[in-house]
Amino acid sequence: MTQQTWRIGRTTITRIEEQLGPASFPPDQYFSEFDRSLLERHLDWLAPHHYRPDEDALVTSVHSWLIRTPRHTLLVDSCSGNHKDRPWWPRFHQLDTPWLQRLAAAGVAPQDVDYVLCTHLHADHIGWNTQLQDGRWVPTFPRARYLFSRLEVDHWDPRRNVAGADDPARRIAFIDSVQPVLDAGLALEVEGSHAIDESLRIEPAPGHTAGHVALHLNDAAGGGVFCGDAVHHPLQVCAPHWNSRFCEQPEVARATRWRLLSGCAEHGHWLFPTHFGAPHVVAVERDSQGFRPRFVEAHR
């Protein structure tokens, strides 16, 4: 596949794909406030990269963002990972993808990564935190600091919160993809606003999960927001009141989504979501209905 890289000032952002295809649920089950008339109003740009009319299927991607600043190399969200046991979720179960080879094709080896940021701890955002070696899950990025929201860890760690770990799917994912990082002493648990360097800052973005965060890139030449699952699909740019079926705090999620989209529109910053289909990045513009996405093609 062709490498896709965007540039903002002295920072490059490269998409590292794990998979791209139809969502696991039809639109009326994917969005809790789904209105088909809104989808039909936007068919001219939705098909075929974001919606397949013949299948009535939304198109979603699972990818990481590789960010290279003059100072740091950082990964945002680490997809689903290979060989992970996810029987409840066929799209993520026992994968064998060339994600690491795609990272290498972008010129980065695991030991080159300084930071790994997980916007939240759902299974499709933590998988490549670890890989299987000699029957054990070990951190994939041996020199990196893994940045986790403390609220997320407090909720999903079965040693800290027995009630939060009642969901066996979430517990399994935590044990194979987060616990080994904690045990290796590579995790940095962040709270509130946290600056990585002069251009990268983590900010709370709750709603999808209580501890969800976003990464803000600010450069003299522009900026970007790496929003994780605060915005799942481009239709939510047009309909910020639509939540995905996975949003745990619906009203908080709507407020966060509106705030992030408003900030992008006001400052001219690009939105870098984790699940948008091609071309994956949008500029958010205001219109009479609220917002609309203008897709931003990769520079190469």
Ordered by where they begin, the domains of the chain are: 4-295 (3.60.15.10)
pLDDT digits (tens, 9 = 90+) for 104-125: 999 999 999 999 999 999 999 9
Residues in the chain: 300
Closest CA to 153 of 98, 212, 195: 212
The label of the residue with tokens 């935590």 reads: 174
Quote the pLDDT of residue 162: 64
DSSP 204-231: E--SSSTT-EEEEEEETTEEEEEEETSS
Helix, strand or coil, per DSSP, at residue 65:
strand
Quote the pLDDT of residue 288: 80
Element (H, E) at 104: helix 99-105
Q: How many degrees, rounded to 5, is the angle at CA 43 between CA 40 and CA 46?
A: 130
Model confidence at 164: pLDDT above 60: no
Ramachandran sector of residue 49 (left: φ over 0; alpha: ψ -120 to 50; beta: rest): alpha
CB 190 within 8 Å of CB 147: yes
Model confidence at 163: pLDDT above 70: no
| Residues 6+ away with beta carbon under 8 Å from 225 | 214, 215, 216, 217, 260, 263, 264, 269, 270, 271, 272
Question: pTM to 2 decimals?
Answer: 0.96
Helix, strand or coil, per DSSP, at residue 182:
helix
Quote the pLDDT of residue 168: 78
Tokens of 287: 């219109």
